[in-house]
Structure 1
């Protein structure tokens, strides 16, 4: 279905005070029209198992296999993953943001992490023409944490609770700029064909553009392909 544009040309950027590597591959694909057509023909549903503020649909299996075949060695090398561990796909989705700001839950109004697992990775490809909101990464200022691990997770939750209580009664809105609690330290622009790989324990958020991103139409919305893997 999707032909990866070879050779791939990965860039590794080191973000935040921790200098966590994030892999960015521009022009990962030359043509995503078949993938876009697939997204236009299938049903999207609310993802009840996550806090994602939108709808999702299953990615084609052959796309997932092709992507993983081209990047798995890169992930092992960049993140120094022990070679005895094996990739286990966790979830594979098309995603579209469609929730209006006023309907967001409290936890949808702050940067989040996917899991504290050390070798859990998000693989994200931007599929539509821009402009759409970027993917941003944050430091939690009261605790100083950029990545949430099993060791610091409870400390992070305790430190984040006062802010959650503070914003809970206020009008809901997407988190799109730094404040006294979360400081943005890097962002990656939404660009068609771009593939991004990052550890799922990084605090991150979409910088939702209210004019372009809240859209359930796969042809015009902020369409992404999301592959989540755990290496264990």
Structure 2
């Protein structure tokens, strides 16, 4: 774990004083991050267990708001807007860690892209072909997903994959076209078969790491990693924020 930069550091996400915020969570300090170097590329993934001490108010918020189908992505479920103060609280606690671990130039600034509560609720038979394989969020080099697991129950892990025909673990602007060309035969092969979630390795995608769903755990990873939720239909396909696979998702780009 590197020490904070001694040179000019990035600005905090908000200039609001702590007393101005109702973050809906109490963050455990000091943070105790673990850095997992995953796959053959040894890409860093940040895992912070017990990131929060109390999320009851955040859970209450999720229970009170309306979730809707996410039409802007291939996420197989419903989403609702995260409270702004929660997003600010999370980013203000981890932004320096992100810059340090991923060696991001300090002249670049964090720009939140999307912030959601998320619940998987799509039945396997209704999945599109692209929802049946591991995915990446964007090829941008400094785009990150911050994922916090919010419920107590056991739910599907977040898994990371290598595309076997190309050996790609991360999809970048340089290799994206090659990846799409190489992935197309598998999509055509999948299309006529009964739809199901992708939960185990095959001759096209090999799982090389997974992070278990655990309440209060925060995970940070580059959005260009091939990844997927290991969906268990019995426990994870649930539109109820109190019992479903509830997560808080913050997507940021640093540019």
For this structure pair, what is the TM-score category when the shorter chain's length is used for normalisation?
over 0.9
Alignment correspondent of 1:140: 163
Gaps of 5+ in 2: 1-23
Please give the per-residue CA displacement for 1:157-195, whole angstroms capped at 9, x wherever unaligned: 000000000001110000000000000000000000000
The two structures have a TM-score, normalised by structure 2, of 0.91
Query: Stretches of 4+ moved more than 6 A in 1?
Result: none
Task: Judge conservation of contact 2:153–2:243 (CA < 8 Å) in 1.
Answer: no
Alpha-carbon distance, 1:3 to partner:
1.1
1:183 aligns with 2:206: yes
Alignment correspondent of 1:202: 225
1:71 aligns with 2:94: yes
1:47 aligns with 2:47: no
Alpha-carbon distance, 1:210 to partner:
1.0
Equivalent-residue separation in structure 2 for 1:71 and 1:13 (angstroms)? 16
Q: After TM superposition, list the pairs within 5 Å mapping 1:9-158 onto structure 2.
A: 9-158=32-181
Alignment correspondent of 1:214: 237
Alignment correspondent of 2:192: 169
Equivalent-residue separation in structure 2 for 1:95 and 1:208 (angstroms)? 14
The two structures have a TM-score, normalised by structure 1, of 1.00
Which one has the largest radius of gyration?
Answer: 2
Equivalent-residue separation in structure 2 for 1:130 and 1:150 (angstroms)? 38
Equivalent-residue separation in structure 2 for 1:86 and 1:130 (angstroms)? 36
Alpha-carbon distance, 1:130 to partner:
2.6
- Please tell me the root mean square deviation across aligned C-alpha atoms, in Å: 0.4
Please give the per-residue CA displacement for 1:40-69, whole angstroms capped at 9, x wherever unaligned: 000000010000000000000010000000
Equivalent-residue separation in structure 1 for 2:77 and 2:110 (angstroms)? 27
Equivalent-residue separation in structure 2 for 1:76 and 1:121 (angstroms)? 11
Tell me the secondary structure at the aligned position of residue 208 of structure 2.
strand
Please give the per-residue CA displacement for 1:58-82, whole angstroms capped at 9, x wherever unaligned: 0000100000000000000000001
Q: How many residues align?
A: 232
Please give the per-residue CA displacement for 1:112-167, whole angstroms capped at 9, x wherever unaligned: 00000000000000000130000000000000000000000000000000000000
Gaps of 5+ in 1: none
Equivalent-residue separation in structure 1 for 2:70 and 2:108 (angstroms)? 29
